[in-house]
Amino acid sequence: MIPSTFEYKKAGSVNEAITLLADHGMNARLLAGGHSLLPAMKLRLNRPEIVIDIGSIPDINTISQEGNEIVVGANCTHAQINTSDVVREKVNILAETAGQIGDVQVRNRGTLGGSLAHADPAADYPATILATNAVIEVEGSNGKRCIAATDFFQGLFMTALKDDEMITAVRFPVVDKGVYLKFAQSASRFAVVGCAAVRTAEGVRVGLTGVADTPYRATAVETAYDGSDQASEHAVEGIEVMSDHFASAEYRAHLAKVFVGRALDALK
């Protein structure tokens, strides 16, 4: 299908993009890699009056280390993250996650910020964002603020972003050891179930995606963890598991336990 009529603006800076968002409110959408927005526009599920292209904004497409944090710009592509030496060395789970997204074309164009803002319940990044305890940096008309990973995802395609805000970067603490595993949809490579697990001084942190309509920290697993993979039995404790044409709720719950168990075993 063909999208409905829209105005196109190319923002040259974060401030310009924010101004356009503030001026047009709910009628505006940001365009980065386009892998989420453009298909929705073609199906007319999303009909923005103005599309703001942020793909060429400088300063939000770099990766750097600041102390014990790796700062990844919102416009960094999945391929850029997957091949970054500093990411591979300091937050290898993030590189692993980026390398499992979609196919080569998707990884070369899709961006970290775009994926997080879209908040697809089957996307890969949310599990790793949660397990690494990352912080999302956003900027809007009222200035800059930081959102903890556990506060960012708020429902099906819903985030803590305000209408006039955009993601500018994500801060990842350096991780000693982490792993991301998933059972993928055969065509899209989205996660039917995706599990990210990180070893910490206190035990483990576990993030799950694809299981429910909102990615979540498997705190019941973290509490029960005793060094073995038996804590995986708590993977969907207190969670309303999704059911769709890819997997029933019962099968998805089974997969969640299996992949949490594998992830915990990989951390040993």
Span 21-37, average pLDDT: 88
pLDDT reading at 17 higher than 90: yes
Confidence of residue 38 (pLDDT cuts 50, 70, 90): confident
Q: Are residues 162 and 181 in the same domain?
A: no
Per the listing, tokens 């498997």 go with 218
Instruction: Tell how strand 63-66 and strand 158-159 pair up.
Output: unpaired
Which H, E and C letters describe 17-65, residue by residue?
Answer: HHHHHHHHHHHEEEECCCCCHHHHHHCCCCCCCEEEECCCCCCCCCEEE
Instruction: Tell how strand 166-173 and strand 177-184 pair up.
Output: unpaired
Q: Are residues 155 and 203 in the same domain?
A: no
> Residue 161's closest CA among 190, 131, 134, 138?
138
Q: Are residues 27 and 128 in the same domain?
A: no
Does 243 fall in a domain?
A: yes
Q: Are residues 222 and 245 in the same domain?
A: yes
Domain boundary (127, 158, 173) is at: 173
pLDDT reading at 1 higher than 80: no
Confidence of residue 123 (pLDDT cuts 50, 70, 90): very high
Q: For 5-9, 96-100, 127-131, 181-185, which range has the lowest pLDDT when averaged over its residues? A: 5-9
- Structurally, how many domains does the chain consist of? 3
Phi-psi region of 40 (alpha: psi -120 to 50; beta: other; left: phi over 0): alpha
Does 2 fall in a domain?
A: no
pLDDT reading at 250 higher than 80: yes
Does 1 fall in a domain?
A: no
Q: Are residues 42 and 70 in the same domain?
A: no
Q: Are residues 138 and 185 in the same domain?
A: no
Does 121 fall in a domain?
A: yes
Q: Are residues 85 and 133 in the same domain?
A: yes
CATH code of the domain containing 162: 3.30.465.10
Q: Are residues 181 and 169 in the same domain?
A: no
Confidence of residue 144 (pLDDT cuts 50, 70, 90): very high
Q: Are residues 255 and 182 in the same domain?
A: yes
Q: Are residues 184 and 164 in the same domain?
A: no
pLDDT reading at 212 higher than 90: yes
Mean predicted lDDT score pLDDT of the chain: 95
CATH code of the domain containing 29: 3.30.43.10
Phi, psi of 229 (to 5 degrees): -90, 5
pLDDT reading at 232 higher than 90: yes
Q: Are residues 81 and 165 in the same domain?
A: yes
What range does the domain containing 98 cover?
63-173
Q: Are residues 258 and 198 in the same domain?
A: yes
Query: Helix, strand or coil for residue 177?
Result: strand
Residue pLDDT, tens place only, 44-94 = 888 889 999 999 998 899 999 999 999 999 999 999 999 999 999 999 999
Question: Please, are residues 230 and 238 in contact by the beta-carbon 8 Å criterion?
Answer: no
Decide: residue 85, CB within 10 A, 0-12 exposed, 13-18 middle, 19+ buried.
exposed
DSSP state of 198: E
Domain boundary (144, 173, 202) is at: 173
Question: Please, are residues 97 and 125 in contact by the beta-carbon 8 Å criterion?
Answer: yes
For residue 35, the model assigns a pLDDT of: 78
Q: How many residues does the chain have?
A: 268
Token pair for 122 = 């089957």
Does 113 fall in a domain?
A: yes
CATH code of the domain containing 249: 3.30.390.50
Residue pLDDT, tens place only, 148-161 = 999 999 999 999 99
Token pair for 145 = 């603020």
